[in-house]
Amino acid sequence: MEINGVQIDPTFAEAFPMKATRIIVTAHNQKWANIAAQAMTGFATSVIACGCEAGIERELSAEETPDGRVGVSILLFTMSSDKLIKQIQNRVGQCVLTCPSTACFAGLYTDKPAPLGKNLRYFGDGWQISKVIAGKRYWRIPVMEGEFLCEETTGITSAVGGGNFLILAKTPEQALIASEHAIEAMRQVAGVIMPFPGGVVRSGSKVGSKYKGLIASSNHAFCPTLKGQVNSELDNNVGSVLEIVIDGLTDTAIREATRAGIQAVCQLGKANGILRISAGNYGGKLGPYHFHLQEIMQ
């Protein structure tokens, strides 16, 4: 398959089950909502070392939030509900509770609640109070600025992590421009995040290493500087490869984001140095979700 001169490899991205939640953060203005969200989603690129994968889903208007202020929708993903609960508590407690003018609300309601204000209320040292409005409990926690309003719980849902595709280009500059176009298009899709810096991964990994105890290492088959030294997946024309990793609340959302991203890259086409689109997988052994690129792009 070719789209605008760009080869779509006959391969698939392999993804795996995760647990996720959505949290809504509001603030006095968009600047402070974004500051809180960026802090809360910091150091959250990969569960390999960060404990969770998190990112900003989108900005919210005042008409879309529980308290009628502007805000941000945040998605967090982990490998288990217990780990997710811990990440929520630490990140909201350290990055949202501490941030001027913010409030925090559930973005999902499921039959599996995760503590939000339910645990953070203890910071109020006994001065916290609760209110039930329309069947939902909120906690008002006194802070030096005034008070921090936080919904009692948010919902945990099953999700999918590890969707991906690879952009193979002639030069690093062309690969970077293509990835920026892809991310811009993918951020229009609801229910997904691209958790790496700017949504893009320069250091895609493979499972395992020759070094004992290292569970992931450089994906040497896609490293341009190793052509001629390893069994490379790259021909002489490829000078740079960038990866985009996608976490989604559903596999359908990941498919939609993958399609949007690849379409944006292919619009640039071979004339702008884009040669191939591929994907990372482990022979189907890592996860049950397989996103076949050519099927998605048909």
Mean pLDDT rounded to a whole number for the chain: 97
Structure-block tokens of residue 130: 């609760």
Q: Which residues pair with 142 in a beta bridge?
A: 147
Unique residue bearing structure tokens 């805000």: 71
How many CB atoms within 10 Å of residue 211?
7
Q: How far apart are CA 14 and CA 289, in angstroms?
A: 6
Question: Considering the entire predicted model, what is its pTM?
Answer: 0.95
Query: What pLDDT does residue 285 have?
Result: 80
Query: What pLDDT does residue 135 have?
Result: 94
Residue type, position 134, single letter: A
Ramachandran angles phi, psi of 147, nearest 5°: -155, 155
Tens digit of pLDDT for each residue in 157-194?
999 999 999 999 999 999 999 999 999 999 999 999 99
Handedness of CA 84, 90, 91, 96 (dihedral sign): positive
Q: Check: CATH 3.30.70.520 for 19-157?
A: yes
Domain ranges of the chain: 2-14+159-297, 19-157
Which CATH code of 1.10.510.10, 2.70.170.10, 3.30.980.20, 3.30.70.520 fits the domain covering 2-14+159-297?
A: 3.30.70.520
- Asked whether this chain's domains 2-14+159-297 and 19-157 adopt the same fold, the reply is yes
Could you tell me how many residues make up the chain? 298
For the chain, residues with pLDDT lower than 50 are none
Cβ burial of 69 (10 Å; 0-12, 13-18, 19+) is buried
